[in-house]
Amino acid sequence: MAEPDGAVLDRLHAARGFVLDMDGTLVLGDRNNRGIRALPGAVELVRALIDRGTPFCVFTNGTVKTPEECAHALQDAGLPVPDDAALTPASAAVEVFRRRGHRRVMVLGGKGVTEPLEAAGIEALPPLRGTTADAVFAGWYREELTFEALEAACFAVLEGAKVYSASQSPFFATAEGRTLGSSRAISAVLRDVTRARVTVVGKPALQALRTSARHLGVPAAELAVVGDDPGLEVPMAHKGRALAVAVHTGIGDAESFVHVPEDVRPHLDLADVGILAELLSGG
């Protein structure tokens, strides 16, 4: 792991806000986000940001929990994050649905999606055959997913509903190792059957970064984005011209970016967020 150059360190210290990943970066839990424990350096990083007065948010692609529940889970793991610090694809979806006039959304997911939508005045509909909807949203729907739910979603799309996905990542990091994400699996069925375009609202979509930037009140290009998945946080950071920071405590490792062009590699490639905390505190 090469030492960061001075220009990168200057940019790190000049960052006006941080967007932090959750699973595999700050914490690890089981596939249902239970038993969450802080990863090495996570508490120190959050404290360093608080001590610096630097605003931050935690954007997770998980939709098992509401954003507020994610914040509380982080607090229970010992991270001193504010109650409003967490964002999820549901947070980004609310902005997209309002902008596009989607008022009735069929949700293949639980309360982690339905509650934020309903709080925003968007009707969250169960996947039942014969239901008309403006959009279909695929989130975490592992235990409840049935053939009937997939069928209902397919027919809603064939009748005009647009398709949205929380994430297209094949896997996410847990203490049990890589776990298959349900959003991609559901979206694959909808795409194959209906030939519909799937719009991703979670990472690495630029929408996720823009939602984070608006939440923090900081332009996207002045943010630092920190995460463990080579296919999520680093590409999203480059899309928004933010500082890209990769860590090796989840999906990615020290070899993840060896074979990609230099201009899409992370600006900082670190073993864990504890080193990032040290770099921040050292300046």
Q: 3-state class of 111 per DSSP? A: helix
Element (H, E) at 56: strand 56-59
pLDDT at 277 exceeding the cut of 90: yes
HEC string for 214-255: HHHCCCHHHEEEEECCCCCHHHHHHHCCCEEEEECCCCCCCC
Residues 6 or more apart in contact with residue 105 via CB below 8 angstroms: 93, 97, 117, 122, 123, 124, 125, 133, 134, 135, 136, 137
Predicted confidence at residue 252, as pLDDT, reads 92
Predicted confidence at residue 2, as pLDDT, reads 57
- Integer Cα distance of 105 and 253 in angstroms: 37
Dump pLDDT digits (tens) for 68-99. 999 999 999 999 999 999 999 999 999 999 99
pTM recorded for the entire structure: 0.94
Q: Where are the alpha helices (DSSP H) in the chain?
A: 6-14, 42-52, 67-76, 89-100, 111-119, 147-158, 182-194, 206-216, 233-239, 273-281
Please, which pLDDT band fits residue 246 given cuts at 50, 70 and 90? Answer: very high
Residues 6 or more apart in contact with residue 63 via CB below 8 angstroms: 88, 89, 90, 109, 110, 112, 113, 139, 140, 166, 183
Both tokens assigned to 201: 């609202």
Backbone angles phi, psi at 258, to 5 degrees: -60, -40
- Integer Cα distance of 197 and 162 in angstroms: 8
Dump pLDDT digits (tens) for 178-210. 888 899 999 999 999 999 999 999 999 999 999
- Integer Cα distance of 144 and 208 in angstroms: 26
Question: 105 near 122, Cβ under 8 Å?
Answer: yes
Question: 71 near 81, Cβ under 8 Å?
Answer: yes
Amino acid at 254: A
pLDDT at 45 exceeding the cut of 90: yes
Going along the chain from its start, the domains and CATH numbers come out as 6-88+203-281 (3.40.50.1000), 89-200 (3.40.50.1000)
C-beta atoms surrounding 222 within 10 Å: 17
